[in-house]
A and B are shown apart, each in its own frame.
Chain A
Amino acid sequence: MKDFEQELKRALRRWDPPDSFRERVLARVAAEQQQPWRRAVSLRQRPMLRWVAVAAIVVFGAGKLSYRAHEHRLEEASGRAAKQQVMLALRITGNKLRVAQKRVKSVEGEDRKVGKTL
């Protein structure tokens, strides 16, 4: 068993997420905080920085858009999967209710036969 446990440890090594994972997390945090960055210097005093800020917002905004598209795709996949689960659950429910119904009918049938002979 010890050898197999070692094999399990080897097979279940951790995987690294994609390279940009940390950047995406930080981007989401920043988006939530609505404080993309703090500056030591006011933008009004450094016009060039203002253009850098605009460019960053555009890039960041594009990132947010593609993230939303990604979210939409995920939601659609989740919704379709949830629908499959619902239909499965209803089928299982139906099968089991049918068992009950079949048995009730067979009991009622026997009761009627007994009633006829009495």
Chain B
Amino acid sequence: MVLVTQSAAVFAELVREHQAMVFSIALRFLRDRTVAEELAQDVFLRLYRELPRLETPDHVKFWLRKVVVNRAMDYVRSVHRRREVALQEVSEPTFAAGGRDPLLETSVRKLVASLPNEARMVIVLRYQEEMEPHEIAELLGLPLATVKSRLRRSLVLLRAKAQRLMGVPTR
């Protein structure tokens, strides 16, 4: 089955360009690959409907981030209780060894997963998406001071927890 119209081709290219971004944001929150893929598909379906109203590539990227963030936060708030959800081992892809410690990276990812929802989203947007604080504030509709405060507190908390973790024997 092939979509042969020009707008369909443009859309297909947008999916190729942004699928990792949308999927990764969803997966960081939902911690379930199947549900994350489902949510990511929903987001692109909405994009297809919305596309005539989006004017520039930057606008598309902003729109995609906003929608996947909102949908992921809504889903987590409505379905998950943070404290009782065990930090499930998300089946993670194997990266080529680049002299990095995969156990440390897994631990850091788990620590990020343990943050409260809003703080976790700020960390993901800052360090996964490499957005600046003012961009995060605009996306989330929060005051810049709130974003900076959450980043600061979350980093302190994560770093302290990571240091404690590193001191604990893992074998």
Contacts and interface: CB of A to CB of B under 8 A. Distances in A.
Is A–B contact present in the complex under a CB 8 A cutoff? Answer: yes
Nearest to A29: B48
Interface string A13-43: 1111110011011111110100011100000
A81 B105 contact: no
A49 interface: no
A15 B15 contact: no
A85 interface: yes
Q: Summarize B's interface: helix, strand, loop or mixed.
A: helix
Interface residues of B, number: 51
B19 A17 contact: yes
Interface in B1-46: 1-5, 8, 11-12, 15-16, 19-21, 23-24, 27-28, 33-35, 37-38, 40-41, 44-45
B71 to A, nearest CB: 14
Contacts of A81: 79-80
B84 interface: yes
B105 A11 contact: yes
Contacts of B23: 14-17, 21
Interface in A30-69: 30, 32, 36-38, 56, 60
Contact of B3 (A1, A4, A24, A30): A30
Nearest to B130: A9
Interface in B28-84: 28, 33-35, 37-38, 40-41, 44-45, 48, 78-81, 84
Contacts of B48: 29, 32
Chain A interface residue bracket vs B = 35 or more
Nearest to A6: B127
Contacts of B20: 14-17
A114 interface: no
A95 interface: no
Contacts of B21: 14
24 contacts: A1-B159, A5-B155, A7-B104, A8-B123, A9-B128, A10-B100, A11-B108, A12-B109, A12-B123, A13-B128, A15-B27, A15-B92, A21-B15, A21-B19, A22-B12, A24-B37, A26-B1, A28-B45, A29-B11, A29-B45, A30-B1, A37-B2, A74-B34, A81-B80
